[in-house]
A and B are shown apart, each in its own frame.
Chain A
Amino acid sequence: MSATTIPSRPSLRGIRWRPVSNFFSGLTRLATFSILALLAILLSTILVNGLPGLSFRFISTIPKKDFFEPGSAAVLPMIVGTTVRVFVMTLFVIPIGVITAIYLTEYAASSSLYTRVIRAAVNNLAGVPSIVFGLFGVGFFINFIGRGFDSLTHQAGPQLGQPCLLWASMTLAVMTLPVVIVATEESLKSILPGLREASLALGATKLQTIIRVVLPNALTGILTGGILAISRAAGEVAPILFTGVAYYMRDLPKSPTDQFMDLGYHIYVLSTQSPNIDQTKPVLYATVLVLLVLTFSLNGIGILARARLRRSGRSDS
């Protein structure tokens, strides 16, 4: 009954004229295409208004304090800050996420209590509001761990007990853990059982099988998870508001204990703090465009890699 088997379908359906059904079908189509139209308006507005503001100077210089003026605005430190914070994040989130996924798919029985509780926790973690992660970053990383370290090492001033790049990245790692776990699980599940069985039959232990056979085959999926986590984290502002972002810095961040500037937060600053919003608009659009290019290209890579993974998994099985 699917469209591929009966090419002349419209004429078949046309046997009886059904105004009510056609009307409602039309409504659902309208809903779909209005969403796409909204998306198109959003993207084209940003593209049309943002492109003129883009220049090599814009993305490659450190701005002076008044970054609201089109003449002196630039976003190099924001690009660096956003990029560095998401890459530091992957150092924490990928190992933990991958190991959790290995436990869930390779070791634990799918119906055991541990699995169910871990899965429930992962689902829940995925739904926690990003601002709560920000509060958690303050309460746990900065106040508890950071201050704890500072008082242990008897530093003169606060070193770790203050907002910085490290804590912002770790807060984001907590936030994106579910993304990595789910993506890795998906790729581990798509590996043929026969591959594992062959390895075990040749005398490898379970751990050797996982390290030598399963993980190399799951690499694409793990990378996809990392990319999806990065693209999610790159646009988030709420978790880093109190854990490390700075309104303005004269220099690029030099160490993990430095604060940093950030593209998303800079968009917030440009749209709310500007003394003359009409003058700032071109800068704002250009900055938004830079952030969108960054997140969309990462997202695109993730989606493509995942589609490829699914296709290969399907054709194998």
Chain B
Amino acid sequence: MTHGRNSSRRTAGWGGIYRGHRARVGERLAEMGIFVVSLSAIALIFLIFLFVGREAWPILIQSDSVNSAAVQDVIPAVDLPKLSPEQIRAYLGIDAAQLDRMDSETIRELMLVREEAFASLPQSLQRDPDARLNTVRWRSLILPHQWAGYSRPEFIWQPIGEIHKYNIVPLLVGSLKTSLIGLAFAVPFALGAAIYVSQIARPRLREWLKPAVELLSGIPSVVMGSFALIVMATVLQRFFGYETRLNAFVAGIALGMAVIPIVFSIAEDALTSVPRSFIQAALALGASEWQAAWQIALPAALPGVFAGVVLGFGRAVGETMIVLLVCSASVMSWNIFDSARSITTTIAAEMAEAVAGNHHYRVLFLLGTILFAVTFVTNLLGDIFIHRLKRRLEGKQ
């Protein structure tokens, strides 16, 4: 603030610090401390990316150390002398440091254990070609697969049972489906309310309408979720008459209620920031209030409104508890009255069962990485739109 007027001319010092006077050592040290602490937000973004990505790393590089196949090829223990260290590591799924610590006797023991484990598997599984499939390869993660017992290739997420099926497409569809239903419900209401509050309502009404709508954002998502589960699901079913009581539609509506305050706040801010003179000019030329709002204020504020929708989408995709409470079966279907399982729900529901470090655990972190990447992009887009709105309203188009 204080330096805002002249800082552009004067060069800032170390760490962008502008002080305007000479300082003693202690003060300089304190300033360095302030600078270093202020980098924490940047550091945290990096750390999140690093540590969520680190757990998913073996899958991202498709390392041999993660293998989710129910039946794995067995190398007889007597063949140990013929194997190179790399082959042993890949076979036993261990890293170089672990291998160094083992003597050949331990390795032979481990190989024997593998042989016994194979022998103890049921015959049907030993012969099943699907059981030898490493389901964390990109091919299995993304493409449909013709599983035994199914009539055609299918996308299946089923991390339990003998064969772990890790196709992430149903989860992506689930996330998209619920978020889009939520947005389709939230945007008309939020946008209508934003136009009403910013352009049409009287100032005195406006003063309490805005905080009242924003009160909705103070409701924790777990409360919204359990309300949807217990009250809304029944009401909506009676109203629309579909079969399954808990489905993506109910989850989407509840998500929409959680997203309304976000879209509303950002769109309302954008509409309010349109210079009053624009509206007054339109009204003076004989336009009605609605015409001024729809044809003048809304186009001027469009980037901001867009930012609201994009950030609302980001919030809906990242929301966990609502979908977790309302529906959980992972079915590959675009029908809005079917169940759906989103990415967030899957992580929340399955993390507790996953053994740290195994394939299931790593796939869940992969989902987290995807989620982080998606919201990173939506946040960036939202920022760009808001920036564009500012430039437009300042006349620098």
A contacts, CB < 8 Å to B: 1-4, 13, 18, 20-22, 24-25, 27-32, 34-36, 38-39, 42, 45-46, 95-96, 99-100, 102-115, 117-118, 120-136, 138-140, 143-144, 174, 177-178, 181, 188-189, 191, 193, 196-197, 200, 205-207, 231, 234-238, 241-242, 264-265, 267-268, 270-272, 277, 281, 284, 288, 291-292, 295-296, 299, 303
18 A-B pairs whose Cβ atoms sit less than 8 Å apart in the complex: A3-B202, A13-B289, A32-B192, A42-B257, A99-B34, A107-B18, A109-B8, A127-B318, A128-B376, A135-B368, A139-B54, A205-B23, A206-B20, A207-B31, A235-B223, A238-B321, A264-B222, A299-B218
Give CA–CA (A177, B221) in the complex, Å: 20
Which B residues fall within an 8 A CB radius of A?
A: 1-4, 7-8, 12, 15-21, 23-24, 27, 30-31, 33-35, 37-42, 44-45, 47-48, 51-52, 54-55, 188-193, 195-197, 200-203, 209, 211-213, 215-216, 218-227, 229-231, 257, 260, 264, 276, 279-280, 283-284, 288-291, 293-294, 311, 314-315, 317-321, 324-325, 344, 347-348, 351-352, 356, 364-365, 368, 371-372, 375-376, 378-380, 382-383
Further 17 A-B residue pairs, CB within 8 A, beyond A109-B18, A117-B42, A267-B222: A2-B276, A21-B291, A24-B294, A25-B200, A28-B293, A32-B193, A96-B40, A100-B37, A107-B31, A112-B12, A121-B44, A134-B347, A136-B47, A191-B1, A200-B20, A206-B23, A292-B220
Q: Which of B23, B318, B325 has the most CB of A within 10 A?
A: B318
Which A residue's beta carbon lies closest to that of B365? Answer: A135
Contacts A110-B7, A132-B318, A271-B230 given; indicate if A207 touches B30 (C-beta within 8 A): yes
Given the interface pairs A127-B379, A235-B221, A284-B226, the reply to whether A132 lies near B368 with Cβ below 8 Å is yes
Q: Are B348 and A131 in contact (CB under 8 A)?
A: yes
* Cross-chain contact B321 with A129 (CB below 8 angstroms): no
Q: Shortest distance in angstroms between B233's beta carbon and chain A's nearest beta carbon?
A: 11
Chain B residues, Cβ within 8 Å of A237 = 220-222, 320-321
Contact A272 B55 (CB under 8 A): no
Q: How far is the CA of A178 from the CA of B315 in the complex (A)?
A: 15
B188 to chain A: which residues have CB within 8 Å?
31
Contact of B213 among A36, A99, A131, A264 (CB under 8 A): A36
**Which residues of chain A are near B224, meaning CB under 8 Å?**
42
- Residues of chain A lying within 8 A (CB to CB) of residue B351: 134-135, 138, 241-242
B47, closest chain A residue (CB): A140
A3 to B206, CA, bound (A): 12
Check A2–B203 contact: CB distance below 8 A.
yes
Cross-chain contact A121 with B260 (CB below 8 angstroms): no
Give the shortest distance, in Å, between A201 (CB) and chain B (any CB): 11
